Structure 1
Amino acid sequence: MRAVTANALCAGQTRPGSGGRTRVLRLLLTLCALTALFAPATPARAADTTPAQAADTAPPSQAAYFADRLRENPVYVTDQLPREVPRATAPDFARIAKKTGVPTYVLVLPMQSSTGGKELLGAVHDRLGRDGLYVLIEGTDVAQATAYGVRAPADAAATVALYELPYDAGPLRSFERFAEVIAQGGEKAADRAEAARAKSEDDEPAEMYIGPSDRSNQSLLTGTLLTGVPLLIMLSAGYVRRRRRRSGAERRLPRWVVPGTAALTATAIALTAPVVFDQTRSSAARTPSPADLSARVERVAAGLKQDPVYADPESPRVLDARQVDRLHDRIRDFRRSDGGGPVYVSLVPQTPESESAGDPDLFAAAVHAKVGVDGVYVVADPADGTIDVYNHGLRLDSNHLFLDLPDSVAYGDSKADRADDHLLGERLDALMTFLDETPRTDRPGSESAPAPAPRAADEHTLPPLFATDFWPGLFVGAFLALLLSGIAAGLTWIVGALLRRRSATPQSPASAPASASASVSASNLRRTAHAELTSLIGEFTEPSNDEPDDHGEHGRAWDCLDAAMLLVEGDPGRTRERDTDPATLVTVIVLARAGRAALAGEATEQCCGVNPLHGPAVGRRHVRVSREGNRRRMLPVCDPCRDTAVAEPGGIPDRLLKLPGLESGGSRLPYYEATDGPLSAVPDGIARLIDKVRETAGVH
């Protein structure tokens, strides 16, 4: 009845009466007018007070959340870094914290992009109301430490942990070094911090771990050495063996020695490489358990079951109460719309160290599986401001959501980049408008299954040494061995050619070069024999009388020439024929050189009995003439052979002349035993050699 009367009065429906009643009516009309005038402003004022009224029921602030966690346990490890710092490491942090000697509260969190570490610790201390050492570890480093009401060199300890350890030392080792310095006291901590800072200017700490690329390099080097070194040994030994065979030298080592050495070398490399390259992990991160990897998803899913908008309590607040209420209203309206449905908004940072390795698609799929309700799942990152939208089971055009979502909504603009909250409230409101306008489909759509995240057990584990680039390294080693052996052979050939050219310089016949080589080719013997014999014929001059002087220089030269011509049947050209045996050629060379020496006034009675091609002998000596046993013989020796007989008696058998061709037959017999011809008389002197030639030819 009062309402009806008031409405009637407001409408001006009055009855006649006294003046006092008229004044009352006027007063009521005035009140009605004022009510009508200010009625639109009343809701606005109420809306303005909504955030203050809602503050009592809003989730706790970031500092209050951490204070509650530290009240339960003085060490809090976030569930957002399981790949780097699993929550299971909390007892280890607690054990180290006791070493500081003061009450210590530790927060292990992701990087705080918009909140200063010192301000956060101060706010947490104010909320917790307990004095002590407050430490903030962001990722892997001690980012901030402050002492409240206790004496602790926090700044010095943080400096030491920063400069004394490499960047990959890990959070546990960094916090352990921090606690160690805290326990030393203020004076020692300050000195240590100054020393660490000064040392870091000259030399940074060496890294403690290697990465996958370093392991690939180790594998490549191991494979290269494993094939390159043994193959190079075999190729080099084969080349040396061929050179010795060409020179007529005896084979001094059994055939199994070279392959055995190569096999032992390969085995040694294969066994030593894992000891030298013994790294197995690429970082100090521990392998998380399945519970560590699922903790954050379960936390977010539990929150979304209670409220479709979940704001991460570990991150700074990016939506105020009014924006949250506005978002709730938009979500409610979309759910009631035709073709709409539930919308779940997760305001959670996505980091590479998280269970989903920073993949919002994978995170949204995991949350959807835990919530168990189809809908649109929105992942808004409060750290970088990105917004990702995924349709799981609603009749919405998923391609439209993926392809046509405006960049201003998904990534923001320059204004959003400058804002601490990335204007997420306005952009989420724009997202709801975009969802309202998204085309509907006849059947529910769903996102394709995202690629799985890397296995946490393998993420920080190095591949085996004998894997990755080890196999290409085997081919590289073989190629390098062939290349190096080819280069070595080429250089050896060039040096040998230069030496041969130098040795071709004309020398005195009496002092022919005493080459250490014990073998000579048949072609070289033919060339040398022809050159020496023709030179002797050209230099020879008969005495004035018809008969040669047997006792003069011409007499000895004539005897040598006569014997040499008997060997070639009077034709010097026979020395160039292939059927002339090497023993005959050597005898011709010895006789021709002796004759030339006689003409030059350097007549000698004996040439080297070890190798007649060495030249004149300087004496006689018992020398070892066989590598098997200790058989010796008195032989005239040249100067180098005499030195060898004194310094290395076992080297004389290698210096004995080896006749090429069938005469030597590959035997170990010395030249004077390998033939029955005149050459066997060389050790007995030039005169005996001449007589032997004449006896063989039947000339007396």
Structure 2
Amino acid sequence: MKTGGERGDSAMRAATKKADGTTGSRLLAILTFLVTLFAAATPSAQAATPSPDTQAAYLAEQLRTNPVYVTDQLPREIPKSTTPAFTKLAKRTGVPTYVLVLPMEAADGEALLGTVHDRLGKDGLYVLIDDSSVTDATAYGVTAPADDALTTAQYELPFDAGPLRSFERFVDVIAEGGAKAATRAQAARDKYDSDGEPAEMYIGPSDRDNQSFLTGMAITGVPLAMLLLIPYVRRWWRRRPGAPVSLNKRTQPGRWRRHLLPAAAVATAAAIAAAAPLVFDQTTSSASPRPRAIDLNARIDRVAEALSQDPVYQDPESPRALDKTQLAQLHTRIEKFRSSAAGGQVFMALVPQLYEDESGSDEEYFAHAVHDKLGKDGVYIVADPLDGYINVFDHGLGLDTYDLLNALPESVVYGDEKSNDADDHLLGERLTKVMTALDKTERTEDLTTSDADEAYPFTDPITEDELNPLFYGDFWPGLTIGALTAGALFALVAAALGIARKPLLRRHPELLQTSTLSTTSPAMPTKPYLRDTARTELQAMAREYGTGERADTRTRTRYEATMLLTADSGNVDDDLSPSTLTALIILARATRAALAGDDSNLCCGVNPLHGPAKTSRHVRTSSVETRRRMLPVCEICLDDPHKIPARLLKLPPNGRPYYEDELLSAVPDGFTKLGRKVRETAHAQ
């Protein structure tokens, strides 16, 4: 095979032989020579030798050795020791598969895969994985449903499933083949669109605290609720209105029955304590395997070994930030500082600082670890090629690097808009400015070399994902809250049973001589209806009140207000107004309710003839106006608020709302206010 130079000589000789031809032939020969010479001087991209100082070239070299490359910069999420697991999965695809596991910030997705493929020169399925999942995949020269597998892995799994599980799902879909993969991808996409993202697989520390708290509440709350509620409800049931007489007799339970409930409560507490760890069985908050010591030291060893050979180290897995000219300039500046009287060694590490790395994105700890591994004092400059931040740390030279950083502009230390827009973050220029400032930094006697030996606290990567035990932390406060909750539940049940007693009393008039309060009272009653109802209620009140010996102050007050409406005659005259008749009905019923032990003070504000109110609400009282009123509402009106305007009580003969009447305007405020209004009206007359 002829070299490029030989091909150029041949073209030269061919052109010379045709020199005696026509002018066109001469020109053609010259053009042929120039084209051939240019072709010889410009080798094709495929024939070019990959440059070892580029990210893609470095990664291609790694894949040439092993088709699966796992970075050493993510030990907290993907330890390098997981390489065999990824390799085992890659072999299941059925096609040559090349896997790159890299930091998300350092990988340029499909573009990087294409460049690595060109550098490696081998067809196959190329897969890119970051610290959470499979992010990109492309098939070069092989048949594989890469896009469908990528879609399925992204939509079928929650975000916290982890990269290894994501790659496993990806491989499963690849192995299914094109048709099945397309169907599965579409199904996953449709399910995601309808149901949203799948539920998380792991819980966090706060979730574990909640589980501990809930367990503590259940262990004390459930047994105490049993001890409080079961006897109370049983006693209430025996004494309920209408219960058979035999059930009201007290029976003395046997000794074994007296101990049955406490024993059941203790057994319940023990069962909850035993079942809780089975229900809340999570032990870790992440899918990441526990890193080994070799995983945590891998990057530190790599950087320290490189710095022992060269004071400037660029991370080969990241896009290169320094060209050869900038490297030469920095080497010159470093040598100048080293040979100066007040200077020393300078080590520059252009390495990403990530939350998933061994240092937890702590540049100071990283510099300390590299210094400890390298064993050489000096100024350690950590520059992040991904975000462009620069940090300077002194180990053993006695330089005030904190003042150095404070003296530098933020555009040098953190970058600015111009540097952020640049691919290399202008690190070459900015590091040169750092060296200029370093030349002017003086030694200080206040700083000693012992500062370099300090241990910098950071989250332990081995135990950081471990969850606290279930019976720990918030479990103990949960025990107390559980007891309080049981007491609150008892109070609510007692109140509910007290309310439930009222309709039972109405069902048994022999126990309470009272008529059932109608919830179907007309919204526009006639005066005869009001007069007849008032007479019935007045007679029932007089019969139940009797001599008033068992009446308390509240009952007597309501009774006296009712009698005032009849002018103390005890009769319902035909000339009483509709508003007076309505007030008489309301107060007569309120008096009977007080005699029965009902402590409520409100009746339905929509139609006071409905009976007692359950709660208060802002309701519309007109189907035309949008203005709302705060009124007490009975259970029937509360269940169907749209019918409230139609159910509003309107007084004959003109049908105006009852609360617009001077006397009845106090009804929504309660029986006490209505009685006071009755007495004021009576005194005024």
Fold match (TM-score > 0.5): yes
Q: Distance in 2 between matches of 1:447 and 1:412?
A: 27
Correspondence 1:536-615 to 2 at 5 A: none
Say yes or no: does 1:180 pair with 2:172. Answer: yes
Q: Distance in 2 between matches of 1:461 and 1:88?
A: 19
Aligned residue in 2 for 1:26 = none
Selected match of 2:487 from 449, 464, 482: 482
Aligned residue in 2 for 1:123 = 115
Selected match of 2:349 from 341, 346, 350: 346
Aligned residue identity for 2:78: V
How far is the alpha carbon of 1:239 from its aligned partner?
Answer: 4.3
How far is the alpha carbon of 1:460 from its aligned partner?
Answer: 1.9
Q: Distance in 1 between matches of 2:80 and 2:270?
A: 44
Q: Structure 1 residues 356 and 266, CA, compared in 2 at 3 Å: closer, same or farther? A: same
Say yes or no: does 1:387 pair with 2:411. Answer: no
Q: Distance in 1 between matches of 2:132 and 2:513?
A: 80
Q: Structure 1 residues 494 and 184, CA, compared in 2 at 3 Å: closer, same or farther? A: closer
Q: Distance in 2 between matches of 1:461 and 1:91?
A: 24
Aligned residue in 1 for 2:471 = 466
> What's the CA shift string for 1:447-505, capped at 9, x where partnerless?
57353332223222222111122111111111111112133334445666897897664
Q: Distance in 2 between matches of 1:432 and 1:468?
A: 50
Q: Distance in 1 between matches of 2:187 and 2:51?
A: 49
> What's the CA shift string for 1:205-240, capped at 9, x where partnerless?
222222222222211111111111111112234646
CA contact (8 A) 1:361 1:450 kept: no
Correspondence 1:323-334 to 2 at 5 A: 323-334=326-337
Q: Structure 1 residues 242 and 152, CA, compared in 2 at 3 Å: closer, same or farther? A: closer
CA contact (8 A) 2:405 2:413 kept: no
Q: Structure 1 residues 188 and 58, CA, compared in 2 at 3 Å: closer, same or farther? A: closer
Aligned residue in 2 for 1:151 = 143
Aligned residue identity for 1:324: L
Say yes or no: does 1:451 pair with 2:460. Answer: no
Aligned residue in 1 for 2:226 = 233
> What's the CA shift string for 1:564-613, capped at 9, x where partnerless?
xxxxxxxxxxxxxxxxxxxxxxxxxxxxxxxxxxxxxxxxxxxxxxxxxx
Q: Structure 1 residues 145 and 58, CA, compared in 2 at 3 Å: closer, same or farther? A: closer
Aligned residue identity for 1:126: D
CA contact (8 A) 2:51 2:57 kept: no
Q: Distance in 1 between matches of 2:472 and 2:186?
A: 45
Aligned residue identity for 1:274: P
Number of equivalences: 455
CA contact (8 A) 1:241 1:251 kept: no
Say yes or no: does 1:280 pair with 2:280. Answer: no
Q: Distance in 1 between matches of 2:500 and 2:291?
A: 64
How far is the alpha carbon of 1:444 from its aligned partner?
Answer: 3.8
| Secondary structure at 1:362 match in 2 | helix
Say yes or no: does 1:191 pair with 2:189. Answer: no
Selected match of 1:78 from 58, 64, 71: 71
| Secondary structure at 1:219 match in 2 | helix
Of 199-208 and 266-275, deviating more is: 199-208
Q: Structure 1 residues 239 and 190, CA, compared in 2 at 3 Å: closer, same or farther? A: closer
CA contact (8 A) 1:230 1:265 kept: yes
How far is the alpha carbon of 1:387 from its aligned partner?
Answer: 0.7
Say yes or no: does 1:140 pair with 2:132. Answer: yes
Q: Distance in 1 between matches of 2:223 and 2:87?
A: 54
Aligned residue identity for 1:138: D
Q: Distance in 1 between matches of 2:311 and 2:51?
A: 14
Aligned residue in 2 for 1:628 = none
Q: Distance in 2 between matches of 1:112 and 1:229?
A: 51
How far is the alpha carbon of 1:76 from its aligned partner?
Answer: 0.6
| Secondary structure at 1:316 match in 2 | coil
Q: Distance in 1 between matches of 2:49 and 2:94?
A: 39
Q: Distance in 2 between matches of 1:97 and 1:151?
A: 15
Say yes or no: does 1:96 pair with 2:89. Answer: yes
Q: Structure 1 residues 62 and 328, CA, compared in 2 at 3 Å: closer, same or farther? A: same
How far is the alpha carbon of 1:398 from its aligned partner?
Answer: 4.0
How far is the alpha carbon of 1:57 from its aligned partner?
Answer: 13
Selected match of 1:207 from 196, 200, 203: 200
How far is the alpha carbon of 1:402 from its aligned partner?
Answer: 5.1
How far is the alpha carbon of 1:241 from its aligned partner?
Answer: 8.2
CA contact (8 A) 1:84 1:353 kept: yes
CA contact (8 A) 1:133 1:152 kept: yes
How far is the alpha carbon of 1:348 from its aligned partner?
Answer: 0.3
Instruction: Tell me the C-alpha RMSD between the 2 structures.
Output: 2.8
> What's the CA shift string for 1:174-222, capped at 9, x where partnerless?
1111112212222222222222222211123222222222222211111
How far is the alpha carbon of 1:271 from its aligned partner?
Answer: 1.1
Structure 1, gaps ≥5 residues long: 1-54, 508-534, 539-700
How far is the alpha carbon of 1:335 from its aligned partner?
Answer: 1.4
Correspondence 1:268-417 to 2 at 5 A: 268-401=271-404, 403-417=406-420
| Secondary structure at 1:157 match in 2 | helix
| Secondary structure at 2:122 match in 1 | coil
Say yes or no: does 1:422 pair with 2:414. Answer: no
Of 57-66 and 364-373, deviating more is: 57-66
Say yes or no: does 1:87 pair with 2:80. Answer: yes
Of 380-389 and 406-415, deviating more is: 406-415
Say yes or no: does 1:262 pair with 2:241. Answer: no
Q: Distance in 1 between matches of 2:83 and 2:130?
A: 14
> What's the CA shift string for 1:6-36, capped at 9, x where partnerless?
xxxxxxxxxxxxxxxxxxxxxxxxxxxxxxx
Q: Distance in 1 between matches of 2:50 and 2:349?
A: 19
Aligned residue in 2 for 1:672 = none
Q: Distance in 1 between matches of 2:339 and 2:121?
A: 47
Of 188-197 and 227-236, deviating more is: 188-197
| Secondary structure at 1:226 match in 2 | helix
Aligned residue in 2 for 1:217 = 210
Q: Structure 1 residues 183 and 58, CA, compared in 2 at 3 Å: closer, same or farther? A: closer
Q: Distance in 1 between matches of 2:448 and 2:69?
A: 42
Say yes or no: does 1:431 pair with 2:434. Answer: yes
Q: Structure 1 residues 156 and 66, CA, compared in 2 at 3 Å: closer, same or farther? A: same
Q: Structure 1 residues 183 and 247, CA, compared in 2 at 3 Å: closer, same or farther? A: closer
| Secondary structure at 1:431 match in 2 | helix
How far is the alpha carbon of 1:373 from its aligned partner?
Answer: 0.5
| Secondary structure at 2:165 match in 1 | helix
Name the larger-Rg structure: 1
How far is the alpha carbon of 1:377 from its aligned partner?
Answer: 0.7
Q: Structure 1 residues 431 and 503, CA, compared in 2 at 3 Å: closer, same or farther? A: farther
TM-score, normalised on structure 1? 0.61
| Secondary structure at 1:287 match in 2 | coil
CA contact (8 A) 1:223 1:477 kept: yes
